[in-house]
Amino acid sequence: MRNARVARSRKNRVAPALAGVAAVAMSFVITPTVGASTDAATATSVAAFGGMEGLVAAAKKEGTLNVITLPADWANYGNIIKDFSKKYGIKVNSANPDGTSQDEINAVTELKGQSRAPDVLDLGTSFAITADQDGLLAPYKVVEWSDIPAIAKSKDATWFDDYGGYVAIGYNSKVVKHAPTSFADLLNPEYKNQVALNGNPTQAGAAFAAVYAAALANGGSYDNIEPGIEYFHKLSSEGNFVPVTGGPSTVESGQTPILIWWDYLEASEVAKQYPGWKVVIPSDASYAGYYSQAISKTAPDPAAARLWEEYLYSATGQNLWLQGEARPIELPSMVKSGSVDEAAYKALPAAPSGPLTFPTEAQITQAEATVAQGWTSAIGG
C-alpha cells in the first residue's frame, strides 16, 4: 500500500492550543465579493474570494479536483474524498493511489499544463520541502492557519502538516512467538526473513521515518541519520530484513510477519484485517511524523484545490482523520474547544510520554541526502 509520504518523513509534531471554534466560524460568514477577475491560482487565502461562499462558488464552477496517491484505506481517505465530493458536488479524480511522494512530485512536473495534473499533494515532509525548493508549490493559508504550529508548516505557506502518528513495530502474533518491542530486538536471529519497511526510504516517507527512528535508537540524532542506515545494513546482513514494500498484502502472504510502519496505518490497514496483528511503539526510539498538504502552483483546478485544503483543516476534516486512527494536527485545540470526536479520540493508542521533538527542515534535507547516497549499498541492493 501507499509507499510513501513521511519523510514525508512526514515529521512529527504536536499542535499548540489554538483559536476557538467561534473565531473560525466567523471567518466563514464573510459576504463574498469574488468576481470574474479573481485569479484562483494566485489566491493566498479565502479572502481573495471574498470569503468561503466565494471560494465554494469558484470551486464548483471548476467542478473537479485531481488528487494523487491517496488509497481509500489510508487514514480514512476514502470517506474524506466521498464526503468532500458530496458536500460540494465536486468530482474527485484519484490517480495512482498506491504511489509514493516522489511519484506525486514527478506527476506535477510531467503533467504540467494538462487537465489531469495533480491539484493537491499529500507528501512526506522532506518531499514537501524538496517540492517547495523546486518552486512547485503555491502559497496558501487556510482559515485555521494559526492552529498549525510554526514548526509544522513552511514560512512561505507552501506546505503545512495535517495528520500523523508514530513509527511503530507491527507483528503477526500468530507467527512471531516472542514480541519485538524495540529496534534492538529486531536484530535477534529468530526474526530471520521477517522484518520489512513500507517502501524504499529514498522514495517513501514512512520508510524514511523508520530509518530516522532507527538512528535515534542507535546513538544517532536529527543531525546524524547515518546510524539508522548502518542499523538496516546490519539487519540485512543478519538476514532479518526483507527488501520488499511491506503492507497488508505481504502480511497476508506471510512474507512480512513484522512491519515497521506508522502506528495508525498498522492499526487501520493491517490490524483490522488480521486480528492477530499487534502494534508497539519501539521502547528505544520514539519518532512521530506528520504528512504535509500542499497545492500545486500549476493546479488545473486552483479554486477546488484551495477548497480541499479548507475542508481538510475544518473540524469535519480533522475529525475524519481522527476516525481513521491518525492524529490530526489540530487535535490539541479541538480537545480544548470541545469540537473533537470524543469516541475516536479515546480510541487512539496511548502516546509515549514526554515532549515530542522533531528535525528542522535543514536537518531533514541533509538526512534525505544521506539516505539517498547510502541506502542501496547498505542493504546490498
> What tens digit of pLDDT does each residue of 288-313 get?
888 999 999 999 999 999 999 999 99
Residue 2, preceding peptide bond in cis (omega within 30° of 0): no
CA–CA distance, 296 with 302 (Å, rounded to integer): 8
> What tens digit of pLDDT does each residue of 122-156 get?
998 888 999 999 999 999 999 999 999 888 899 99
Predicted pLDDT at 169: 97
Predicted pLDDT at 356: 62
**E strands in 246-323:** 258-262, 277-280, 288-296
Predicted pLDDT at 57: 98
**Taking Cα atoms as reference points, which of 307, 306, 304, 335 lies closest to residue 319?**
335
CA–CA distance, 307 with 31 (Å, rounded to integer): 17
Question: Identical fold at 21-164+289-346 and 167-287+358-378?
Answer: yes
- Residue 164, Cβ neighbours under 10 Å: how many? 30
Q: What ranges do the domains of the chain cover?
A: 21-164+289-346, 167-287+358-378
**Global pTM value:** 0.76
**E strands in 34-191:** 64-68, 91-95, 120-124, 137-138, 159-172
Percent of the chain whose pLDDT exceeds 70: 89
Would you say 296 and 137 are in contact if contact means Cβ atoms under 8 Å apart? yes
Residue scoring higher pLDDT (350 or 205): 205
Q: Which CATH class is domain 167-287+358-378?
A: alpha beta
The CATH number given to 21-164+289-346 is 3.40.190.10
| Buried b / exposed e along 86-110 (16+ C-beta atoms within 10 A) | eebebebebbbbebbbbbbbebbee
